[in-house]
Structures are given as structure tokens and as C-alpha cells.
Amino acid sequence: MKRKIKSIALLLVLCIMFSFGANSYAASGTCEVFYFTYTGSVGAGGSAQIQTKLKSSGYTANRYANTNAYYVRRTMNSDVVFAIVSHGAAGRVICANGTQISAKSVASQDYNYSLAAWFGSNALSGTKFVYYGGCQTAQTSSTYGNLLSYTTSTLGAKCALGFYESVANNQATYFETQLFNYLASGNTVSYSASMASALTYSTYGSYGNVNTYKIYGTSGTTIK
């Protein structure tokens, strides 16, 4: 009888240890999501849903509005996932008060806050995924560089996604909502983007150019 009780107790302890162990494999770390509502900006887009999905994945996900580029950029290296929903152009994303984040440093511009001026090589090696949700953020500018390649090849983030063409806000909002919905389910960036793009076309009857997404780094990256 005593042996039986001991066996049951041991089994119980093993079960408890296993459940703790399983929980310890859930995602952890900090994510940041930025959006802008100042004059002329894009609005919240899918930023609220992005934050919700990151939280459901187990992350501490902070969402900020109308932030100066300096503070948007400031702790990217601490983020497991970074997302920005804003206007964009080749090599840059637009932040509050006309400030912008570019890949390359532009010494002549007061309002430019480049990744190159703030981060050293491989500074983002702990970052799994960076989402640049603005127009033409996958394009290369001779002045500002290429956000996606700089984020992955130079700064070492695992994966980054941006758009090659100008994207329509309604479709882009839907796309990023579905993108992070699928990422939160454990799917890869490439599969999630492919699903999000197809769903956008099926829903809206047009891509709004979200099909021009580009993925740099490891497209098989997952965020969980």
C-alpha cells in the first residue's frame, strides 16, 4: 500500500514538473507596436490586432501612438518582434513630427534617425521579426538604403517584411491583421504572408498591392 502511494505521488510530481516544463517553452520577451494618428498619418491600421496576437503568443506587447523616430528606434534591439504601421517610402518609415527612420545615416537631415547611426552590427540578433507596414518599405533608396536588408543582413534580425509598392490602407490593415493572426498560430512568416495576401484578394477583390510584400532573412521564421 505504501509503495502504491509512493508510486502515485511520484507520478503526480512528474506530471506537475512536465506541465511547468511545457509552459516554460511558451514565447517570452518584449514586443513593440507603433502607429500614428497625427495630421496626415495612416491611423491605427491593424496595430491593435497585432498587439493582441503578440500578447496571445505569450509576449509582453506594448503599443504606442505618435512617437518620435528617436524613441521608435531606441529599443528595437530589445524587441523579439517589432511592428510599425505608418507611411513609408523607399528606405524609410515615417514617424511623428515629420521624423523618420531610415536604414542608412543621412548626416544632412535633422529629422532623420537611421538604424545605422544607432545600432552596431548584429544589434538585432535577438529579434525574430520586424514588420514595416508602410508603402515601398521594401525598396532601396540611394540616399536612405534598404530597410529590410539592413535590418536582417547588417543588424542580424532573423526576418523582416515590407512592401515593394504603395499599399492601400484598407487592404494593408486586413493583411497585417491576418499576417499576425497566422504568426500567432505558429506558422512561418512566408506561409502567414501567403495566406494573408490570398485572403486580402478574396475579400477585397484587389490586393491593394499587399501582394508585393518582400521577406528578407529566414522566411521560415516563426515568432512562437
Partner 1 sequence: MSNSKIKKISFSFLLVIFTFGMFFAHDKSNASASSEALIENEEAAYTVIDELMEGTDSTNVEIIDASEFEELFDEKLIVLEDENYVYLFEEDSQDMKAIILEELPEEPLLDSIASESQAVQEVEDLVDTICSDYLTTDSYDVICNEIDDQESLTYTVELWEKISDDFYTGNKIAATVTEDGQLISFVTRDSESDQAIQELISGNSSFDVKVIESDAIAIAYDVLVDTVEQLELEEQLSAEECQPKTGDDVIVSDSGKIMDVTDVIEEYDIKLDKTETQTVETYRELNQGSVQWVITVTGVETNRDFGIEFTVVLDAQTGAIDSVNYTR
Residues 12-71 that bind partner 1 (CB under 8 A): 32, 34-35, 37-43, 45, 62-68, 70-71
What is the x/- site pattern for partner 1, positions 111-150, by CB under 8 A? xxxx--x---------------xxx--xxx----------
Nearest-angstrom CA–CA distance, 212 and 166: 9
Nearer to partner 1, 126 or 141 (CB): 141
Q: Which CB, 6 or 153, lies closer to partner 1?
A: 153
Helix (H) or strand (E) holding 79: strand 79-85
User: Residues binding partner 1: what is the number (CB under 8 A)?
Assistant: 75
| From 30, 78, 190, 218, residue interacting with partner 1 (rule: CB under 8 A) | 190
Exposure string (b/e) for 55-74, b if CB count within 10 Å is 16 or more?
eebbbebebbeebebeebbe
User: What phi and psi, each to the nearest 5 degrees, are found at residue 91?
Assistant: 80, 0
Q: Are 128 and 79 in contact (CB under 8 A)?
A: no
Minimum distance, C-beta of residue 57 to partner 1, in the bound complex (Å): 18
Ranges within 191-220 binding partner 1 (CB under 8 A): 191, 194-195, 197-199, 201-202, 205, 207-208, 211-212, 214, 220
Chain-centroid distance of CA 161 in Å reads: 8
- State the nearest-atom distance from the C-beta of 219 to partner 1, in Å: 9
Nearest to 26 by CA among 51, 60, 2, 1: 60
Q: Identify which of residues 113 and 150 has a Cβ nearer to partner 1 in the complex.
A: 113
- Positions 69 through 108 that interact with partner 1 (CB under 8 A): 70-72, 74, 86-89, 94, 96-99, 102, 105-108
Look at the block and give the residue holding cell 517553452.
25
> Of 127, 171, 177, 221, which one interacts with partner 1 (CB under 8 A)?
171
Closest contact distance (angstroms) between CB of 27 and partner 1 is 21
CA atoms of 106 and 197, how far apart (whole Å): 34
The answer to whether 188 and 208 have CB atoms below 8 angstroms apart is no
Distance of closest approach, residue 128 Cβ to partner 1, in angstroms: 19
